[in-house]
Amino acid sequence: MSGARSVSRSAKASPSRARTVATSPALDLAAVIADPGTRIIVCCGAGGVGKTTISAALALAAAEAGRQVVVMTIDPARRLAQSLGLKHLDNTPRDVPAAAELTAASGGHLQAMMLDMKRTFDEIVEAHSEPARARQILENPFYQALSSSFAGTQEYMAMEKLGQLRETGKWDLIIVDTPPSRSALDFLDAPHRMSRFLDGTMIRLLSAPARAGGRAYLKVVGAGLAIFGRIIAKILGGQLLKDVSHFVGALDTMFGGFRQRAQATYDLLRQPGTAFLVVAAPEPDALREASYFVDRLSTDQMPLAGLVLNRVHPSTVPALSAGRAEGAAENLASSRTDVVVASLLRIHAERMRTDAQEQRLARRFASAHPDVPVRPVPAAAQDVHDLTALREIGDHLTAPVTARRPRKTPARRASSRPTA
C-alpha cells in the first residue's frame, strides 16, 4: 500500500502528481441471492465480527426476494432468536412467522435452526447403524465425550448438517453461519481432520483389543503392542481404554461412511452453486484473518463471492475534516458558549478519524486482493433485537451497486518525517 511507505524531504515527488488509491469492486449481493443457481452461501470469518447477524439478515432478504431459505446458525445467543421472533432455536429448521408478512408477496419462505452438534452426531450414528449397534455407540462414555466436547466436532457437525439439509431438496437456498473459532480454517479442515482422527494410528491401536477379540488380542498383535496397551492403560486408565476400544470397535463399520461424507461435503463446497462470503470488521486482526481466508479459498479453488466489511463508521458530513471540527470546538469551548455544539464537533472529529482509519484498512485489503468485491455495512446504532433492525441490515447488504472509479488523491508533499 503506497500510504504505508515513508517519504523523505529529499524525495523528488511533484505536488501536482496524483496517485491512484486502490479500491475494491462493489459486491452485488442482491444479484447473488436472486440467482437461482446460488444454492449455498457460507458466511465465514473471525469470531465477533457479526457473522450470525449478517447470515440472518441475508436470509431474510433472500426470502423477501422469493427464495425458499433456511439459515443455520451456530451462535446460541438468544438475541438472534428474538430478532427472528422466535422463543428459541434448535437442531430442527423452524418457520419464522414474523417474516411471513414480509415474504408473502414474493412467495418466499424463511426457516431457521441452531446447530446442536451432539444431536447431529447422534443422527449420523442412528442413520448409518443397526439399532443395536447404534444404541451401543450412543451409550458409550467415550462417544458421549467425543460428540459433545472434542476439538473440531462442532465444525465437522456443521458440515454434516449442511449435507443433510442439501440432500432433502426442501430449500433452494441454504445459508450457513460458520462456527466461531480461533482460525477460520477450522471449518474447511474439519471433515478431513475428523476423518484422520477416526482413522489414525493411535485410534487403530487403541481399538485393537475389540478387533482381535479378548485374549486372542495378545496373540494377534504380539507382545510389543501388548506392552503398548498396558502403558496406555496406565496413562489413560483401564476403563477409558476399554471405552475407546469398544467405541471404535462398534464404529468400525462406519469408518468408510465418515470418509465418504467428509469428501462429499468438501466437494459440495467447491461446486459453482456455493458462494463463500467472508465477513470482517474494519479492524486489523479481523481483516488479516479475512485476507488469510481469501487466500485459502483461492488455493482450494472454492467460489468466493466477496467480503462484507461489517460495522463501518462512515461520516455523515465528510466535507468537515477532523482538524477543522476540532479547531472549531476549541474556539467554542474557550468562549464558554455553545458547549453542546462543541461536544458535537468533537464527536464528529473522532468519527472522521475512525472513518479515515477504516478506509486505510480497506485500501490495504484492496491492494492485497484487488479482484475481491466488497460490501460495506454501517454499524447499527444499537444491538439487533427485532426483525426491523435485521431487515435494515439486509437493505444495506442488498442496496443497488453504483459503479465507482479508482479514487485519485494528490501526492503528499515531501517531509522529513516518516508517515504511515
Residue 71 DSSP SS3: strand
- The pLDDT confidence band at residue 283, using thresholds 50, 70 and 90, is very high
- The C-alpha atoms of residue 122 and residue 155 are separated, in whole angstroms, by 15
The residues that bridge with 20 in the sheet, in sequence order, are 408
Residue 364 pLDDT more than 80?
yes
Residue-wise pLDDT for 80-112, tens only, equals: 788 888 988 999 999 999 999 999 999 999 999
Judged by DSSP in three states, 109 sits in strand
DSSP string, 242-309: HHHHHHHHHHGGGHHHHHHHHHHHHHHHTSTTEEEEEEE-SSHHHHHHHHHHHHHHHHTT--EEEEEE
Q: How confident is the model at residue 315 (pLDDT cuts 50, 70, 90)?
A: confident
Which residues, in sequence order, are CB contacts of 42 under 8 Å at separation 6+?
A: 176, 178, 187, 269, 274, 275, 276, 277
For residue 25, what is the enclosing H or E element? none
Confidence (pLDDT) at 263 = 77
3-state per-residue secondary structure call for 311-352: EECCCCCCCCCHHHHHHHHHHHHHCCCCHHHHHHHHHHHHHH
What is the reported pLDDT for 351? 76
Q: What is the pLDDT of residue 235?
A: 44
pLDDT confidence of 329, banded at 50, 70, 90?
A: low
pLDDT for the residue 178:
86
Residue type at 133? R
Rg (the chain; Cα; Å): 27
Cα(402)–Cα(138) distance, integer angstroms: 55
Please, are residues 110 and 391 in contact by the beta-carbon 8 Å criterion? no
Positive or negative torsion for Cα 184, 190, 193, 194:
positive
**What's the mean pLDDT when you consider all of the chain?**
78
Does 19 score more than 90 pLDDT? no
Please say if the pLDDT value at position 228 is more than 50: no
**Considering Cα of 354, then 356, then 359, then 363, what sign does the dihedral take?**
negative
Reported confidence tier of residue 225, pLDDT bands at 50, 70, 90: very low
The predicted pLDDT at position 347 comes to 73
Place of cell 507382545: 223
Q: Which domains are delineated in the chain?
A: 28-313+380-402 (3.40.50.300), 317-378 (no CATH)
User: Cβ–Cβ contacts within 10 Å for residue 86, how many?
Assistant: 18
The rounded distance, in Å, linking the Cα atoms of 184 and 400 is: 29
pLDDT value for 342:
75
Residue 412's pLDDT band, with cuts at 50, 70 and 90, is very low
Q: What percent of the chain has pLDDT over 90?
A: 38
Residue 338: its pLDDT value, please? 76
Q: What is the mean pLDDT of residues 386-398?
A: 95
Among 127-131, 253-257, 293-297, 337-341, top mean pLDDT goes to 293-297
What value does the mean pLDDT take over residues 159-177?
92
Residue 175, strand partner residues: 41, 71
SS3 state at 124: helix
Choose the weakest-confidence range: 273-277, 384-388, 393-397: 384-388
pLDDT of residue 218: 39
The three cell numbers locating residue 28: 452485488
pLDDT digits (tens, 9 = 90+) for 136-165: 888 888 788 878 877 677 887 888 899 889
- pLDDT-based confidence at 409, cuts 50/70/90? very low
pLDDT at 278 over 80: yes
Predicted confidence at residue 203, as pLDDT, reads 58
pLDDT at 68 (0 to 100): 98
CA dihedral 253, 255, 256, 261 (to 10 degrees): 120
pLDDT (0 to 100) of residue 66: 98
Note the helical H segments in 199-254: 201-206, 208-212, 216-236, 238-251
pLDDT, tens digit, 9 for 90 and up, residues 190-213: 766 766 666 655 555 555 554 544
List, for residues 33-75, the tens digit of each pLDDT value.
999 999 999 999 888 899 999 999 999 999 999 999 999 988 7
- 12-21, 178-187, 282-291: range with lowest mean pLDDT: 12-21
Please give the Cα distance from 246 to 228 (Å, whole number): 17
- Cα 69 to Cα 109, 178, 193, 340, 347: the distances in Å are 6, 17, 29, 48, 41
Global confidence as pTM: 0.79
Confidence band, pLDDT 50/70/90 cuts, at residue 253: low
Q: By the 8 A CB rule, do 82 and 386 touch?
A: yes
| pLDDT score recorded for residue 169 | 94
Q: 181 or 39: which carries more pLDDT confidence?
A: 39
Arithmetic mean of pLDDT, 279-303: 93
- When mean pLDDT is compared across 228-237, 259-268, 296-305, the lowest value belongs to 228-237
In DSSP terms, 26 is beta-bridged to 374
User: Beta strand pairing status for 304-312 and 274-280?
Assistant: parallel
In this prediction, residue 343 has a pLDDT band, given cuts at 50, 70 and 90, of confident
**How many Cβ atoms sit within 10 Å of the Cβ of residue 163?**
16
